[in-house]
Structure 1
């Protein structure tokens, strides 16, 4: 049995990167808890050529508080997932999405205390 490449050009890279449903489930679970805590209010998803970005906002009209990025080209180096703060500083990077998102879950624990 042969597996066919779904892209029109065999061996080519996909035209854009997107989050898989299982990745979105993990991200939206954290998002829901932060909304319930009153910390976050809105989000946006961008699917770009080299990265997928989930941006989190406190209010709709401002810059994102955090960006959760997926960059498949970094998969074999530092890890394809990272959390970027409002100032552009990378807060956490790694291969496992749940482990990377723990940096934001710590902020949820402080809010609840």
Structure 2
């Protein structure tokens, strides 16, 4: 019989950062309500080594109006969640996703009113 050699597994940091189901559900809930309000039309998700990014677009050919970034390396410092505006400025940063998405929630309430 042949010898079975175990496949070496990389231990330590994951090779790709992603959103878990609860986080993505929360983000897509706001996205769906903004689409229903007529503000957003498209989105993109980028999963990389350093960050996972959800970008929301007014039109598909533009820069994203908002980006929600998850950077686990910043968990101990400023918080791993960030809301980034169209110009690239960080609008909100924090440890909780709900508090980072709060400016979008407020904007949505103003649209519906």
So what's the TM-score if we normalise by structure 1? 0.90
Q: CA deviation at 1:8?
A: 1.0
* Contiguous gaps of at least 5 residues in structure 1: 1-6
Give the distance between the partners of 1:20 and 1:63, measured in 2 at CA. Answer: 25
Larger radius of gyration, structure 1 or 2? 2
Q: Who is 1:54 aligned against?
A: 54
Deviation at 1:9, TM superposition (A): 1.9
| Per-residue deviation, 1:68 | 0.2
Q: Deviations over 1:1-55 (max 9, x none)?
A: xxxxxx8122x21111011111000000111111110001110000011000000
Q: CA deviation at 1:106?
A: 1.2
> Which residue in the other structure is 1:28 paired with?
28
CA distance in 2, matches of 1:39, 1:111: 9
Alignment of 1:71-90 (within 5 A): 71-90=71-90
Report SS of the residue matched to 1:45.
Answer: strand
The unaligned stretches of length 5 or more in structure 2 are 1-7
Number of the residue aligned with 1:43: 43
Q: Secondary structure at the match of 2:40?
A: coil
Which residue of the partner structure matches residue 91 of structure 1?
91
TM-score (norm 2): 0.90
Partner of 2:18: 18
Q: Secondary structure at the match of 1:46?
A: strand
Runs of 4+ deviating beyond 4 Å: none
**CA root-mean-square deviation:** 1.1
